[in-house]
Each structure stands twice: as structure tokens, then as C-alpha cells.
Amino acid sequence: MRGGCIGGGGDDRGRDGPPDGGDRGPGGRPGREDARPAAPLEQPNLVAPVDVPALSPRLWVLVAATGVLAGLAGSALMLLLEATSALAYGHRSGDLLTAVEEAGPGRRVLVLAAAGVLAGAGWWLLARWTGPGGSEVSTALWRDRGRLPMRRSLGTAFLSTVIVGMGASLGREAAPRLAGAALASRLSDRAGIDTAHRRLLAACGAGAGMACVYNVPLGGALLTLEVMLGVLSLRLALPALAACCIATAVSWIVLPTGPTYQLPEVPLSGSLTVFALVIGPLAGLAAVGWVRMIRVAHRHRPTGRGLLIAPALVFTGVGLLAIPFPELLGNGKDIVDLALGAQLAVPAVLVLLLLKPLVTAGSLGSGASGGLFTPTIVIGALLGALAGRGWVQLWDAPAAGFAVLGAAAVLAAAMQAPLAAVVLMLELTRTTDALTVPLILAVTGAILVSRALDTPSLYSVRLPAQ
């Protein structure tokens, strides 16, 4: 993915003098500054990279339509997720973990086995029905000119939502991201816009799908820019913000409007600020290991008839592990809630910190499609909670702060998106002043370590080999 920066990569407009260096005296030496008037200085962050598309009134109509479609699609998929959980475990209110515990060990194994059979058969049939072509947002944006096959993408989003609702250890965000991007891609084809505008619209659709299901409009916009487009430019920020805000507002019709994680009040703390300097590098190392695990799992995904067998075997194994550890089922939101409330004993934290990444990578490696956003937050929250248990012996601080700092740092390093990670954690928890500085310090340390080890993002390691 090509990196970018604000104001980078543009032409020579807005600089003093012409492109060849301005006035020069005899012999090529610079002449006097007042030899002729300097060109007016253009606003630097408006000088976008040369491949950033211009924003026409027609494009703004498409951006608004993308936001509406992504909001509707995300809302529909989350309703499907809730209906699936209710059918599988009787989960109609409260958290999934309570429903799973009340359902009993035998039901956990049977539901996960059924999810594996459905996943294998569903994606095998979908591949045969839709023909060649992938349904990964990152592949479409970086390799396929922003094009996504509609039937394959919506079918994948549907299956992914159902198996996560049944307890698969994968994130729920992959489905609305994919649906939003696919709808934007189809909208682009209908409108007949060029490749640059199609990529922008598909990225906005993906970010909007993510934003609406987590109620994080600003975080979704930053994901669009930092992760999917790799460019921070005002010309791109405006459509990303618009699409994510519209999609989030549309989703309020049926989805909750509060924070995803209920965080106890965390006051300003010198202890947490210093802890952030310690947890950042540790989180960076954890993120490196996590990304490499996902790379291995993705490279060994089965194809052909192997897809009919592998998910059933892996998911049944996850169901068996869920007999003693029901927290393993689902995307991991309940684990984060427990870590934020300091409701996990140290042995449980250690076991979940080992098993949750393994079952998630195994589920992905079996051929199933799902997200890694919440599972990544789980790893960071557990790491922060574990380190915090030792830290409070030296310097007391609120337990919830340790988990939030670990989650943000691992998320930033795994996604290679520091700004998005900070804003996402603030939006997910609705915390502001007390944790902003420690969050930035922890994220900075994690990113420095991951970059020093030349670690790619969770999204780029899932790209197919060229």
C-alpha cells in the first residue's frame, strides 16, 4: 500500500517560485528575493497526491448514497446477528456469554459444529456459484481497482454474520465493511465513474459499514484514510467523514447509540501515564506475534473440497474448548467487558490470552471469513489487564485504564493505524480527557516497536500472493 501524508505528493503549486527553483541570477545563482513577486501560497493540505480524485457535485451525491446504503446494510446484518444468536443460544437480551453459559456444554459443541458445517458448505457452494474472484476489501482496493463481486461479497457477508452469531471466534465487522464496499463498488459501476473515484467510494463504503455497527463515525473515517487508502488529505477526509456520519445516523434507527464498552470513570492518573510507556513496547511485540500468526493461518487456508471439512473440524474443536472456557465463543466483546471491570482472575487472563488468539487464527485458517477487529482488542485488553495486576503493586491506578491502554496499543500496531486506534478507543468507550495522553503514549511505543520489526498490517498479510 502506498503511504501518504498531508500535503504530500502533489505538484509544485503553492511553493515560492517556479518548479525549476525560481529566479536565478547570472550563472544560475539565486537572484534577489524581491526580483519578482512570489506566487501565492496555497493551503498545503489541499495539495493532494496526484492520484487523489477531485470532488465533484456528482461524487458527493454518490458519497451520500453510499453512506445510506452502508448504514442500511450494516443495520440489517446486525439484526441478522442478533436473530442468529437468539436462535442458537436463546440470546435475546444481555450479553452472549450469559446465554452461552446457560445453554450448557453440549449445546455449545453442537452449535459450533453446525456453524462449521454451514461455513464449509456455504463458502464452497458460494465459490462454485459465483465463479472466480475474491471478496476481501483490502484486495479490491489495492489490487482490483476498487471492484468487488456483488454476489460473492454479499453472500460472504451473510455467512460471516451467521457463523459469528453462532459463536465463531471472529469479528463481526468484516461483514458490514464488505457489504458497504461492495454496494459502493456497484454504485460506482452504475454511475460510470473512473478507477480513482471508484476506489475512494469503495473505501468510504467499507469505513461507513464499520462506523455504523460500532457507532464510531470519526474512527470509521480515520480507518478509511489510514488503513484503506493510506493517505491523509483534506480532499479524502471530507467524503470519508460524510459517508461514515451518514451511515452511523441511519443505523441509529435500529442499533444502539451508546458506547460499545461501558467504562468505569477513570480519573487523570500519573500512574497510567507512566504505565503507558511500559505497555506500549510490550503491546507492539504482542501485535507482531499476532500479525505473524494471522499470516500463517491465512496462507494455509484450504481450497476446493478441503473447505468442506476443515471448518467443521476446527469449529467443533472450538466448541469443545468452550466447555471449560465459554468466553472463547463470539468476537470477544464479553472478554473485554470482563477485563475492563477487573472481573477475571490472573489464571483466567493467562489462559484466555493464550487461547483466544489461537482459536481465532484457527477459525480464519479453516477457511471461514470474519473480522479481526474485536479479537485484536481482546488481546490488547488482556495483556494490559495482566500487566496492570503487577503494576498496581508498585503504583495504584484504575484497573479499567490498564485494559484500555493495552487494547489501543495492540490495535494500533496490528492495523498500522495509530490515529485511528486512539480515536476508536475513545469512541468505543466514550472517554476523553483522562486517557487521551496515556493512549497516545502507549500507541506510539507500540507502533515504534512494530515498525522496527518491519511488521505489516493485519490487512496486508491477507492479500493473495501476486
For the chain (466 residues), the mean pLDDT of every run of 10, in chain order, is 37 37 39 42 46 82 98 97 93 81 94 96 90 75 87 94 96 96 95 92 96 96 92 88 98 92 88 97 98 93 89 96 96 95 95 97 94 97 97 93 97 96 94 88 97 91 71
C-alpha 382/C-alpha 78 separation (Å) is 26
pLDDT of residue 434: 87
C-alpha 102/C-alpha 327 separation (Å) is 13
What pTM, to 2 d.p., does this model score? 0.88
pLDDT of residue 52: 65
Whether the Cβ atoms of residue 294 and residue 373 lie closer than 8 Å to each other: no
C-alpha 325/C-alpha 107 separation (Å) is 14
pLDDT of residue 410: 98
C-alpha 319/C-alpha 335 separation (Å) is 17
C-alpha 326/C-alpha 331 separation (Å) is 12
Give CA torsion, residues 300, 302, 303, 308, to 10 deg. Answer: -170
Q: What are phi and psi of 151, to 5 degrees?
A: -65, -45
pLDDT of residue 31: 42
Whether the Cβ atoms of residue 212 and residue 254 lie closer than 8 Å to each other: no
Q: C-alpha grid cell for residue 169?
A: 471466534
pLDDT of residue 396: 92
pLDDT of residue 230: 85
Please give the biggest Cα pair distance in the chain: 89
Whether the Cβ atoms of residue 173 and residue 332 lie closer than 8 Å to each other: no
Helix axes 373-391, 399-415, angle to 10 degrees: 140
